[in-house]
Structure 1
Amino acid sequence: MASRDATNGNTGLKKRSIAGSFLFKLPHGDGKQAQVALFKRSGKVSTYQHKYAPISGSVEKYDASPLATALREINEETGLTLSSLELLRVGKPYSFVDESIGREWTINPFGFRLKDKSEGGKGEEGITIDWEHEGFEWFNPLDVSESDEFGGVPKLVTSLRRVWPEYDLGPRAGKVLTSGLQQLREDHESGARQLADLAISILKNTIEEMDSDVVDDKWWANIRMAAWHICKARESMGAAITSATVKALDLVEKILAQDLSPPEKIRNIADAIEEQLGRRKSTTDRIRDAFVDYLRQNVVQTMPLKETLSILTLSSSSTISACLLEAAVHLGVSVDLRILESRPLYEGVTLASKLLEAKPESVDLKVTIYTDASAALAADGIDIFVLGADRISSTGDVSNKIGSLPALLCQRHVVPNAKTVILSETEKVAGPGMIEDHPVEENSPTEVIRAWKGNVKGVEIIERFMSDDESGIAKGSNARVRNSYFEWVPANFIHAYITDEGVWSIKNITERSDWVGNEMDRFFKDL
Structure 2
Amino acid sequence: MSTSTPSSTAPSSSTNHKPLKRRSVVSSFIFKLPPAYFSPPSSSSLPTTSSFDPSIQKPLVALFKRSDKVSTYTHHYAPISGSIDSTDPTPLSAAWREIHEETTLTASDLKLLRQGKPYTFSDESVGREWTIWPFAFLLKDPAGDGEGSEKRIKINWEHEGWAWFDPLDVRDTEDFGGVPKLKESLRRVWFEIDLGLEAGKVLAEGCKRLEEDYVSGARQMAGDALRILRDVIDKMDDGVLDGENGDGKEAKWWKDIRMAAWHLWKNGRESMGAAIMSALLSALASVEAKVFQDHATRSKSSGKQLKSTIISILDREISARPLTNDQISRSFASYISRNLPSFNTPQKPLSILTLSESSTITHALSHLPILLPNSVLDIRVLESRPLLEGVSLAASLAKALSTELASSNDRQHSITIYTDASACHATRGVQLVVIGADRIASDGSVSNKTGSLSVLLATQHNAKEAKVVVLCDSEKVALPGPPEQHVVEDQGLEQVTRVWMGEGSSKRIRGAARTVLNFAHATRFEGKTKEKKHEEKEKTQVKVEVRNVSFEWCAGGLIDAYVTEEGEWNDENVKKKSEALQGLEKRLFGLL
* Fold match by TM threshold 0.5: yes
Match of residue 414, structure 2, among 353, 362, 366? 366
Where does 1:118-517 land on structure 2 (aligned, <5 Å)?
123-215=149-241, 216=246, 217-232=251-266, 233-257=268-292, 258=297, 259=299, 260-301=301-342, 306-331=347-372, 332-361=374-403, 363=407, 364-454=412-502, 455=505, 456=509, 457-466=511-520, 478-517=543-582
Where does 1:11-22 land on structure 2 (aligned, <5 Å)?
11-22=18-29
Secondary structure class of the residue paired with 1:18 = strand
User: Structure 1 pair 146/445, CA: closer, same or farther in 2 (3 Å)?
Assistant: farther
Residue 388 of structure 1 and its aligned partner are, at CA, apart by 0.4
Q: 2-side partners of 1:91 and 1:496: how far apart?
A: 37
When structure 1 is superposed on structure 2, of 263-272 and 361-370 the one drifting more is 361-370
Q: 2-side partners of 1:36 and 1:463: how far apart?
A: 36
Residue 184 of structure 1 and its aligned partner are, at CA, apart by 1.0
Secondary structure class of the residue paired with 1:63 = coil
User: Structure 1 pair 84/396, CA: closer, same or farther in 2 (3 Å)?
Assistant: farther
User: Structure 1 pair 286/27, CA: closer, same or farther in 2 (3 Å)?
Assistant: farther
| Structure 1 letter corresponding to 2:216 | S
**5+ long unaligned stretches in structure 2:** 6-15, 39-56, 523-539
Secondary structure class of the residue paired with 1:342 = coil
When structure 1 is superposed on structure 2, of 85-94 and 174-183 the one drifting more is 85-94
Structure 2 length as normaliser, TM-score? 0.81
Secondary structure class of the residue paired with 2:22 = strand
Secondary structure class of the residue paired with 2:155 = coil
- 8 A contact 2:331–2:563 mirrored in 1: yes
| Structure 1 letter corresponding to 2:585 | M
Q: 2-side partners of 1:411 and 1:348: how far apart?
A: 18
| Structure 1 letter corresponding to 2:254 | W
Secondary structure class of the residue paired with 2:319 = helix
1:454-482 superposed Cα distances (whole Å, 9 cap, x missing partner): 543243343344379xxxxxx96712222
- 8 A contact 2:343–2:350 mirrored in 1: no
Q: 2-side partners of 1:73 and 1:159: how far apart?
A: 17
| Structure 2 letter corresponding to 1:376 | C
- 8 A contact 2:346–2:376 mirrored in 1: no
Provide the residue aligned with 2:584 in structure 1: 519
- 8 A contact 2:274–2:476 mirrored in 1: yes
Provide the residue aligned with 1:471 in structure 2: none
- 8 A contact 2:337–2:344 mirrored in 1: no
Q: 1-side partners of 2:426 and 2:517: how far apart?
A: 33
When structure 1 is superposed on structure 2, of 220-229 and 331-340 the one drifting more is 331-340
Structure 1 length as normaliser, TM-score? 0.91
1:60-89 superposed Cα distances (whole Å, 9 cap, x missing partner): 112222222112222323333345544332
Q: 1-side partners of 2:109 and 2:277: how far apart?
A: 29
Residue 101 of structure 1 and its aligned partner are, at CA, apart by 3.3
Residue 100 of structure 1 and its aligned partner are, at CA, apart by 3.7
**5+ long unaligned stretches in structure 1:** 469-474
Residue 116 of structure 1 and its aligned partner are, at CA, apart by 4.4
| Structure 2 letter corresponding to 1:344 | P
User: Structure 1 pair 27/187, CA: closer, same or farther in 2 (3 Å)?
Assistant: farther
| Structure 1 letter corresponding to 2:317 | Q
| Structure 2 letter corresponding to 1:251 | S
When structure 1 is superposed on structure 2, of 410-419 and 237-246 the one drifting more is 410-419
Secondary structure class of the residue paired with 1:117 = coil
- 8 A contact 1:402–1:487 mirrored in 2: yes
Residue 412 of structure 1 and its aligned partner are, at CA, apart by 1.5
| Structure 2 letter corresponding to 1:77 | E
1:504-524 superposed Cα distances (whole Å, 9 cap, x missing partner): 122221111111100110011
| Structure 1 letter corresponding to 2:313 | A
1:210-254 superposed Cα distances (whole Å, 9 cap, x missing partner): 122242311111111111111212221111111111111112223
When structure 1 is superposed on structure 2, of 193-202 and 31-40 the one drifting more is 31-40
Residue 304 of structure 1 and its aligned partner are, at CA, apart by 6.4
- 8 A contact 1:391–1:429 mirrored in 2: yes
- 8 A contact 1:300–1:309 mirrored in 2: no
Secondary structure class of the residue paired with 1:177 = helix
- 8 A contact 1:19–1:69 mirrored in 2: yes
User: Higher Cα Rg: structure 1 or 2?
Assistant: 2
Residue 344 of structure 1 and its aligned partner are, at CA, apart by 2.2
- 8 A contact 2:213–2:269 mirrored in 1: no
When structure 1 is superposed on structure 2, of 236-245 and 14-23 the one drifting more is 14-23
When structure 1 is superposed on structure 2, of 138-147 and 279-288 the one drifting more is 138-147
Secondary structure class of the residue paired with 2:415 = strand
Q: Percent identity of the aligned residues?
A: 48
When structure 1 is superposed on structure 2, of 24-33 and 99-108 the one drifting more is 24-33
Provide the residue aligned with 2:137 in structure 1: 112
Q: 2-side partners of 1:439 and 1:180: how far apart?
A: 20
- 8 A contact 2:453–2:553 mirrored in 1: yes
User: Structure 1 pair 56/375, CA: closer, same or farther in 2 (3 Å)?
Assistant: same
- 8 A contact 1:467–1:480 mirrored in 2: no
- 8 A contact 1:338–1:378 mirrored in 2: yes
